[in-house]
Amino acid sequence: MTFYPVFLNLRGRRAVVIGGGAVAEQKVRGLLAAGAHVTVVSPETTVGLSTLAAENGIELRRRPYRAGDLAGAWVAIAATDYRTVNASVWAEAERAGVPLNAVDDVEHCSFIAPAIHREGD
């Protein structure tokens, strides 16, 4: 697969993250730093992600992913350990024209994101 490098202006745009673990938490931190309005869909979340949600106005849907969760999204990230979930999110993203990054699952990615080091991490 060949990718084209690009940086996105997410300020004020809706980003949906599917997953609630440590990787999802890192992705949410990056999206918030970029000014995105974030929605997280996951039956469980890390304590840190729950705190981020409470302090930053993140919409937190405490349930499994279901079709329609990407409605209105400008970009999406699937940060789950479940390839079947990633595949379902991918199918919806493709139908809706929403760019998707499925963490560590390049088959289900329309974009990839490099690791970013921020001071204090």
Domain locations in the chain as residue ranges:
14-108
Identify the helix (H) or strand (E) that includes residue 78: strand 75-78
Say how far apart CA 38 and CA 2 lie, in whole Å: 28
Per-residue pLDDT of 72-97, as tens digits, reads: 999 999 999 999 999 999 999 999 99
Task: Read off the amino acid at residue 17.
Answer: V
Per-residue pLDDT of 10-67, as tens digits, reads: 999 999 999 999 999 999 999 999 999 999 999 999 999 999 999 999 999 999 999 9
Alpha carbon 109 to chain centroid, angstroms:
12
> DSSP string spanning 7-34?
----TT-EEEEE--SHHHHHHHHHHHHT
Is it true that domain 14-108 has CATH number 3.30.565.10?
no
pTM above 0.85, yes or no: yes
Structure tokens at 66: 């279901």
